[in-house]
Amino acid sequence: MSTEKRFFGRTESGKDVYLFLIKNSSGAYIEAISYGATLKSVFMPDKNGILRDVVLGFDDIKGHEERSDYQGQTVGRYANRIASGRFTVNGETFDVTKNENGETCLHGGGELSHAVWDAESIGENVLRFSYVSPDGSNGFPGEFTAEVTYTLTENNEIVISYRAFCTKDTPINLTNHSYFNLGGFNCGNVLSHSLKINASYFTPTDKKSIPTGEKRKVCGTPFDFTSFKQIGRDIAENDEQLINCKGYDHNFCLDPVRSGEPSAEAFSPDSGIKMEMFTDMPGVQLYTGNFLSGIEGKGGTLMNKHSGFCLETQYYPDTPNKPEFPQCTFKAGEEFISRTSYKFSLI
């Protein structure tokens, strides 16, 4: 294993951003940058032994600042959406940033995703990023401290560990927003990828992408990924949920799995690269890049609709306003701790 650190660029506000590279003995490697605690690149061998970068992203800091749609970034304080940018804790109502169409709070207002985090290497294969958000930032209560670590193992598994706490009672929901294309970032859309999600239910949404509170069975719907099927097979079905979101942008309620079994799996028939996802979170957001449109990314490649797919492990969206969902309001000083990993192999 080996770790490298180098200067990546300087933000418009004058902050230095660093890139860290971890390589294992088989030659697979990842790159992460301190801007947004972002997973910038994931190079994994394909069926011919050629390394392919299987996440979408940008070559320079300007791309991450000016054109990003959360590619690879850490998102929070509250990942996903909060209806009307409002929630109540201990009888007190908090109005937070409405950064999505002036109506909803998306990914905590984007603060963590666009901050420059403190960063350090821990040993040969672990990176640790940390960030402190001040009390009242984007309307959220308390001084919030977050820590994200990336570990690359010898068996090509990327482990993302989260730790956070706050000085006041508050909802906490952290995730990573990587867009995967297992054929390679420059290999078109992911509609031919096969995907399996161990989830018997999903949470349908209204036209503002806010969960209605219902948990709907996936059986007999385009949302049934309980066995492998192509992402594109049902994506254009005449289904209100798909029409509203222009594809998949929904939370799946993960079923319990036996130890060692993934909560989701995907593979590209072109590259032969397979990815398994393991998590201790109750839900995962499948997003199929429905609103990507001509975004210039790595090597000048344009990111367009369905160029990648996201598996964002999480508490369900709008949980603070949905008492029927698994809750994620943490007491002052209580730790949010979570672990998600993506393991790569060949089919």
Tell me the catalytic residues.
Answer: 177, 312
Residue type, 165: F
**How many degrees, rounded to 5, is the angle at CA 34 between CA 31 and CA 38?**
55
Q: Pull the structure tokens for residue 263.
A: 């909560």
Query: What whole-number distance in Å separates Cα of residue 312 and Cα of residue 320?
Result: 18
Half-sphere exposure of 1 (CA within 13 A, CB side): 16
* Residue in the block written with tokens 């000085």: 167
Residue type, 257: V
Question: Minimal CA–CA distance to 115: which of 142, 148, 83, 85?
Answer: 148
Query: What whole-number distance in Å separates Cα of residue 306 and Cα of residue 230?
Result: 13
Residue 30's DSSP bridge partners are: 22, 42
Question: Minimal CA–CA distance to 316: which of 226, 180, 240, 202?
Answer: 202
Please report, for residues 112, 322, 333, the alpha-carbon distance to residue 88 in angstroms, rounded to integers and kept in the order given.
Answer: 22, 11, 19
> Three-class SS of residue 165?
strand
Question: 207: exposed, middle or buried (C-beta count within 10 Å: 0-12, 13-18, 19+)?
Answer: exposed
